[in-house]
Structures are given as structure tokens and as C-alpha cells.
Chain A
Amino acid sequence: METISKSIKKKDHDSKVSGRALYVDDYVMDGMLYGRLLRSSKAKARISNIIIPELPDGYLVVDNHDIPGENCVQIILADMPVFAEETVEFVGDPILMVVGPDFKEVERILQRIVVLYEELIPIFDMCKSEMVFFNYNYAKGDFDKALEEADHVFEETFRTGHQEHAYIETQGIIAYPNCGRMVISGSMQCPYYVHTAVTKALGYDAKDVQIIQETTGGGFGGKEDFPSILACQTAAAALKADRPVKVIFERREDIAFTSKRHPSVCTYKVAVKDGMITGMGIDVILNGGAYTTLSPVVLQRAMICSSGVYKIDNLQVAGRSVKTNTIPNGAFRGFGSPQTIFAIEMMMDHVAGKLGIESLEFREKHMVKKGDATATSGKYYFHVPLPEMIQRIDELTDYRAKRKLYQQQEGRYRKGIGLALFLHGCGFTGSAEGELIKPVVRIRKTTNDKVEILTGNTDMGQGLKTTFSKIVAETLDISNEQVLIENPDTARVPDSGPTVASRSIMTVGAMLQRAAGKLKQIWQTGEEQIIEENYVAPEFMIPFALQEFRGDAYPTYSWAVNAIEVEIDTLTAESKILGAWGIYDVGVPIDLNIIQGQMQGGFLQGIGYASIEQIDYNAQGIIRNNNFSDYIIPTAMDVPNLVTKIINNPYSHGPYGAKGAGELPMVGAAPAYVEAMENALGVCLNKAPFTMADTMWVLQEVLNNG
């Protein structure tokens, strides 16, 4: 184990464990008003009239007329309005906000507002939608030739559903005007994203908007783009009221009306010759929901990793993100890769089955190695540790033996074991770091020789305050206590890019390491010294051409293997998870406990995605299961046997050898789980989540009918 990996007490442990840490709802300001959003009850309609009752003193309504800048939320495109104008595009589309001093009165007023709609025809089925937000395709080699020459061609379609982040702290923002500036504080992952959006909506100069991240109770991508929307709305309200305004979402509101993981439909066509795959044609459809938000980048990543960990020389990938009149989907840990990794792993498993070859054996034959080309004609420049990870997981779980054993079962309880091999591209897709984000970090040595880290990156539980501090402390050879790091405030910190894409430690951490290294050279006791550091693209990277999807999409990849063992009660279709094992390569863990915590949490979140989490839309485009009774996530009793192991595989261009870690554990749980269910049930499956009801259907229809 590397020295830096040795776990330390987290920097924010004391404040959080004691209950002293303050989250956005814990702040109360003088004269603060409360806001609640009125939202569309129709999935697609024209607003013909809004009838607002007489408002008591001190209460006001804020809508699209109160946006001094542009009535749009700048995410990638700016197609989403801050407040709806003429039409509403999904149930929940915000129309206005009611603001006032008493929360209950605000709610009463909200109930009395009448919106008259002229209903239009919504589209809910992503496969039937013709409104394409984004459309990409890329290819390498000659897939058509591979098809012609094939012994076998297999085709199958896989589906994945929505997933709700279910952070335990709901969305929340406070906005308050302060001497001509607008200050926003809240639960968020990306203060500078919020800054961009609010500046545009208010029409302010950049210096007049200040964004402060408060201690954030979980994000998982759900607080990457969404807070920008709420911040614009709350800022407009604060501006109109000329008072602080706080908006905290109720849980039902949060589940029903905030961004989710993009559902997917992926079709794979596989050409096989002499027992090996010679070509693959992949078609990816993502359900973007009502507005574009982050769909282009989610689609890009989904497409780039759609051939998984396999060497496919003849590849054709097409993808599109379509509009439906449902919740605009956004970022969620994995960001497109859980969807296509599910599909590729299941497809490989099914093709193996059809060829009569053992699933893992078949996959091992196709795994990439160092030096191989990536799907986008980049390169795997570094060691790919899959073989040793597979060996290790087989030792831990007895996977190979059990897989065979479970193929022939009788009796009430049927066991199954599944395995997934996967990767996650570290950092932002393509050349965005250097061309778009251009991150900057600063470290400031104080006159009493403390070193403050100044970045725009946020700790949302993943331990960033601790890992960043460790990198700086280790480089400067000072104690961790000497390193200071606060929640970012755009008035004080540079834009070091968003806290997304598993980039924080690898990219920003590397910049902090360089900055600390420079400070070490020029360290002057008792003097204030500031070092600023810019991004340097790894020199080995082939620049990524987005139009063609060609080049190195990522500098490197993190790798993992998951195995899940289940036991199905054929009487009730309940499935119990007997064990869930994951082996992970994140380069070098900057703090072993922190990385273990990320792997365990992500793995369980992935298991939820695979088995019990689903969003239930009714025929009117309303989410029915908008509460924690009906949108269910795993409890402490659900996966009692969760085992995660971290290997050491230093990345030469990461700080102390670290690579991206945050999203990796989410990516492979679904295929591991669904393959286990296949093994237990003896059928091929192609959807996630694969629920109890799905299991019963298989038991009844397929097995009972012979």
C-alpha cells in the first residue's frame, strides 16, 4: 500500500458526526422569505391563463416576466426556460414561484392559483419520439464486411430505466441580494455552473454574482446541473422581493420533478466468425426528457464505452437522444456508461450462450490489453488489470464453479451468480478540459504557514476536502492539519471545473500537486504566497475530434470486476443477494477508507438500479411513486454481504498514481445482478431493473409453460 493511501480522519468528520455541520436548510436569515414553485400539471400544453388570487401583504408571485436577463437556464444549450412562457413540456415544468414570510401561507396561496391549459399531445414513448435532440455516429474498420463474412449474426435489444439520485438531503437554494450583487448559497456540486446560469438569467456582470456551496448532503450528479435551474428561479425571486429567499424541496417534489438517469434502449448486432466476434453494430437511444440539459455528453459517453472492455476492430456506433414530455434527465454517476455497459455485458453473455461457450471464457478472449486501440481509435496506454482481477474474484467467490453448478437446479430456491467486467473513462470526455473548462487552481500560503486550497470543487461526501488536503500535505511535507480547505465561494476561488466525471482527484488533484510542488521550491516562512496552476493535458493523448469521435476520449480508464450471487424464492419471486463482490482499480487510492466508501456506496446504488429502483409513469405523464415508500432504495438489511477490494495500479499522470474513482463502482452492478438472475432462472434477460414482478413473469410464463 502506498503511504498516501493510509487512511486518516476525514477533515469534515467532527462537524458532521456532531450534527454541527450546517446544510442550506439550517440557515435562517433576517427577513428571509420562503418560496415554492407552481408547476405544470400537464405533460404538454399551452398556458392560456393564470389566475392568481389577491395576495396578502408581503407575498408575491415571480414568473418569466421577472427575469431581467434571458429567460433560459444555461446548461450546455439554453433551451430550458427559468419559468415557462407559452408552453409547458412536462408535468412539473416550473411556471412560477410564490414567495412570502410564512411557509404555510405560501402553500395555501399556491393551492389557490388556477392555471388554464390548452392541452396538446405529449409523447411519452422514447422509441416513438421523432424529436431528436442530438444525433451522433462513428465507426472504425468495416462492420459491413464483418457482417458479410460472419458465420453467425446475433441481434438483441436491451433496456434500462430511470433512476432517482435519492440523496438524503433534497435540493435547496438560498438567494439574497447584497449591495448590488446576488449571492446564492446552496446544495450543489458545481458553483461555477450555477454562476454561469445565474449571470445569464439576471443579466448581471460576472463579478456581481457570488455562488457559495454549503455542506451538501449527497449529489451523485443530481446536483450537477439541476441547482442551476433552481438558483435562477430563486435569484429572480430574491431580486423581485429584495429580500433573501429560501427554497427547499419536499421529498415528493424532489422525486417527481428533478432530473433522473436517462433511460436507454440499446440494440446490438454482433458478427461472429470462428468463435470470435469480428464486428459490432450498436444503436443507442437515450430518453432525454423534455429539455436537452446534459444529454449530448451523456450520449457521447454512452456511445464511447458501448463496446465495453472488448477489442472490437470493426465497429459501428450510432446514438441519439430524443425528446419526450417527461422529466428532463441529467447527470447521474456513470453518466451514460451504466446503460451501455449493461447492454454490452449482457450481449457478450448471450452471444457466448448461443455459441455454446462459457460466458466468462468468451469475454476473456476479447478483453483489451495495454497497447490496443480504443473504440474511438485512441489507445490503452496503460496496463489493463482485468486478468488478475478476474482471478481474484474467482478466488473470492468461486464464480466459475458456481456458475456451472447453478445451471441445473430444482426446488424452491434457485441460486445464480453473475459477473461483469467494466471500465470507466477518467475525466471529461475528449478535449473539453483543455478547450472548454480550462481549469485553474490556487494554493495560498498564509503568514502563519498554513496552506489554503482554493478550487471550485465540492465535497458532497466523497471526501474531497480530505483527499485534496492529503495531496497538498504530502507534497509539501507538512501535516494535514496545516492544510485548510473551505466550501467553495466563487468570490474566493478560481474555476477549477465542475465536480463531475471522476475528474477531481485525477485532474484537479494533479494540478494541486504541481502547485504544491512549486510552493515547496519557493516556500518562505512567515510570508503570504499564492501559486496558481493551469491544466496541462497529458502529452501522450491523441486529441479527440468530437465530430468523428476519433482519438483519445479519455487519458486513462479505471477498471473493475463485479460478481453478484442471488437466491430466488420461486414461490414469491423475491430475490436475496447472498453476496456482492467488487474488485476495483482506481490507480492508487488517495485514502483507502474514502475509496472503499465510494466503492461500497456506488456498488449498492448500482444494485438498487439493477433490482428495485424504478420510476413509475402513468398515462398522463405523472410520476406515481414520488415518495420513499414507493421509490425504494436499498436499506442496511438488503445486501449484508458486500465486499470491495482495491488493487494498486499507479497511473503515471495522476497525483500519487490516482485515477478517476467516483463513478466506477456504479457502472457494472446491473449486468452482474441481471446475469445472476439469468443463471438462477435459466433464461436470457435484457432489462434493468429486473424486479420481483419481472421475476414472477419469467417463473410463470417461461418456466411453467415449459
Chain B
Amino acid sequence: MVNNYQPRSLQEALNILANESAIPYSGGTDLMKKPDENATYLFLNKVPEMKNIVEDMNYIRIGALCTFTDIIESKMTPSMLKEAASFVAAPAIRNFGTVGGNICNGSPKADCALIFFVTDSKLRLVSKRGERVVPIAEFYLGRNHTILQKDELLVEILMNKTGLDNYYFKKVGARKALTMSRVSFAAILNVKDGKITQCMTAFGAVGDVILRRKEIDEMLIGRTILEAKAVRENYLAAYKQAIHPVQGRVSAEYKKAVCMNLLDDFLDSKGI
């Protein structure tokens, strides 16, 4: 019984997935915590099409098999993503863990997934049947549960090229390395001609899925800083309602307090 595949091309990988029940293995840094000796693994780390980082007219296209180290070392990836990647675990995990794995594990604690979320990135999912490009917000159904079909692979993440310079990012962890997020928060605010053109926020590790509330962020879009200041309290109140941290090993009260503090600080930093 064959229990592993090592495809050398995306096509080969998709053909296998179309016919076999195989588990995609990208970096192994999550899967190998509980390897299943009966499972068939599809080792993707030698598939070149999944390891590219290219720039086109609209997007920075990041291959799902890019490791956190690849992200940090690439000249093309935005600083915000680099920063999030640099806080993942420790060097050995960063060298082999991938952004694709980070997304497909479906964990709300995923560091790079948070950045992809807040920037409304798109995911290119490919199977032998065809491909679809979905906004990352639609990818998650619940904790560790995504829309990825058994014969599909996440091949690329499409990040917007522009407007990513003015960012706010904070990962809160219990120690300075090898730490999972207790709370994480990422935000972008762009102002053009005195008006807020973009306001995007996302919270990680506070619910089953990364929290992104476009409709709340929209409260500030189109306003001047002064106008935004006027609705500040409503904005914060809306998030206070929306954030329901899951009570786990870390108290829900703690998580909520940190979320609100960081959001508040983000607004302060923009003069709102």
C-alpha cells in the first residue's frame, strides 16, 4: 500500500488528489504533531508552482508552499506580512512552516492568516475540476474547518499590492519566542485628500475564526479624521459587542480587554 506521494508538479498533485484520499503535507510543522500512520500524505514541498512569489498588475501572488522564512527574506512581500511571519514560533519552524498550512489549518491563532484576512486577500483554490478564487473571509466555516474540498489545493494567496504601508500589528503572547497568540490584532488605515479611504481591522485568537467586521470598519470610511473621531465611541461599542472570546485556558475577559485596548490604541495612533 502506497502511503505517500511526492508529486513534482501541480498537475501531478491534482491528479493524485482527484483519485486518492490523501492529506496535503506542506511544511509538516503542524501535521507532524500527530502523524497518522494509516494516512496517505501528499508531500507538496517539491512542487515548484506553489513556491513562487510574483507580482502582477493587481496582486502580490504568494505561493502556498512559501515558508515563513521565504516570506521574511523575499523582497516582494509587504512589511506587515514579514512582521507577522517573523513572530511565528522560532527559526526551525519558520524555515519549514508554510503560509498555506497556516491558512488551511483553520486556526484563529494563525499569524499570517491574520494579515491575509485584514488585507482582504483572495485564495486561489485549484483542483482537477477547475479553480476558484475566494475571498479569505469566505474560506473559514469554523474552528479548524474550511471550505477546502478533498480534491482541492490552496495554490496561491493574492494580496493587494497597495495601501499596506500604514499598518498596525500586535501579537500578544506569553513569552518572546515559541509562542502562540493569546490575542493578535492587525489594522490598516489609509487617508487620501483628508478622507479615510481604507479602514481594515482583524482580530486573531479570540473566536473560532479570525474576526473581521467590514461593516463596522465602514463606519469610518469616507470620513475625515475629525469626523471619525466623532463616531469613535460608536465604533468601539460596535466592536465591544462583536468580540466574544471563547473561554479557554486564557480568560475571555483578558482577551476582550486586550482587543479593546489595542483597537483603542490603533485609533489613537491615527489621531482618531
Contacts and interface: CB of A to CB of B under 8 A. Distances in A.
B37 A573 contact: no
A592 B264 CA distance: 50
Nearest to B249: A616
A635 B37 CA distance: 32
Nearest to B173: A574
Contacts of B179: 632
A355 to B, nearest CB: 34
A112 interface: no
A637 interface: yes
Contact of A638 (B177, B183, B262): B177
A535 B74 CA distance: 66
A574 to B, nearest CB: 6
B175 interface: yes
Nearest to B263: A571
A648 interface: no
B258 interface: yes
B176 A630 contact: no
B261 A571 contact: yes
Contacts of B253: 696-697, 700
Contact of A634 (B175, B249, B254, B264): B175
- Classify chain A's interface size: 20 to 34
Contacts of B262: 571-572
B148 interface: no
A104 B177 CA distance: 33
Contacts of A137: none
Interface centre among B180, B258, B264 (most CB of A within 10 A): B258
Interface string B224-259: 000000000000000000000000011101100110
Interface centre among A572, A624, A634 (most CB of B within 10 A): A572
Given A572-B262, A573-B258, A624 B176 contact: no
Contacts of A412: 265
Given A571-B265, A635-B177, A630 B258 contact: no
Interface string B189-229: 00000000000000000000000000000000000000000
A377 interface: no
B254 A632 contact: no
A700 to B, nearest CB: 5
A692 interface: yes
B183 A572 contact: yes
A697 B182 CA distance: 15
A17 interface: no
B90 A574 contact: no
Contacts of B176: 635, 637-638
A534 interface: no
A632 B258 contact: no
Interface in B106-132: none
Interface residues of B, number: 25
A18 interface: no
A545 interface: no
Contacts of B92: none
A571 B174 CA distance: 14
B180 A573 contact: no
B258 A696 contact: yes
Contacts of A574: 172-173
Interface in A558-608: 570-574
Contacts of A705: none
B180 to A, nearest CB: 7
A522 interface: no
B147 interface: no
B3 to A, nearest CB: 14
Contacts of B170: 572
A673 to B, nearest CB: 14
A566 to B, nearest CB: 13
A625 B254 contact: no
Contacts of A628: 178
Contacts of A570: 261
Contacts of A571: 258, 261-262, 264-265
Interface centre among A574, A616, A630, A634 (most CB of B within 10 A): A574
Contact of A632 (B172, B175, B250): B175
Nearest to A637: B176
B258 A693 contact: no
Contacts of A352: none
A700 B259 CA distance: 13
Contact of A635 (B175, B249, B250, B264): B175
A636 interface: yes
A547 interface: no
Interface in A504-524: none
A287 B173 CA distance: 30
Given A637-B176, A692-B174, A572 B261 contact: yes
B248 to A, nearest CB: 10
Contact of B254 (A635, A637, A697): A697
Nearest to B180: A629
Interface centre among B173, B254, B264 (most CB of A within 10 A): B254
A611 to B, nearest CB: 9
A187 B230 CA distance: 66
A47 interface: no
A612 interface: yes
Interface in B18-65: 37
Nearest to B183: A572
Contacts of A635: 90, 175-178
Contacts of A573: 254, 257-258
Contacts of A612: 174-175
A691 B37 CA distance: 39
Contacts of A572: 170, 172, 183, 258, 261-262
Interface string A677-693: 00000000000000111
A639 B22 CA distance: 44
B175 A696 contact: no
Nearest to A624: B249
A636 B177 contact: yes
A636 B175 CA distance: 10
Interface string A510-544: 00000000000000000000000000000000000
A636 B250 CA distance: 24
Given A572-B262, A635-B90, A696 B254 contact: yes
Contact of B249 (A625, A638, A699): A625
Interface centre among A412, A616, A635, A699 (most CB of B within 10 A): A635
Contacts of B254: 573, 692-693, 696-697
B239 to A, nearest CB: 15
A700 B257 contact: yes
B180 A696 contact: no
6 contacts: A572-B172, A572-B261, A625-B249, A638-B177, A692-B254, A696-B254
Given A574-B172, A635-B176, 7 more contacts: A572-B183, A572-B258, A573-B258, A632-B178, A637-B177, A692-B254, A696-B257
Interface of B: 37, 90, 170, 172-180, 182-183, 249-251, 253-254, 257-258, 261-262, 264-265
Across the A-B interface, the 6 shortest Cβ-Cβ residue pairs: A637-B176, A571-B261, A635-B177, A637-B177, A696-B254, A572-B172
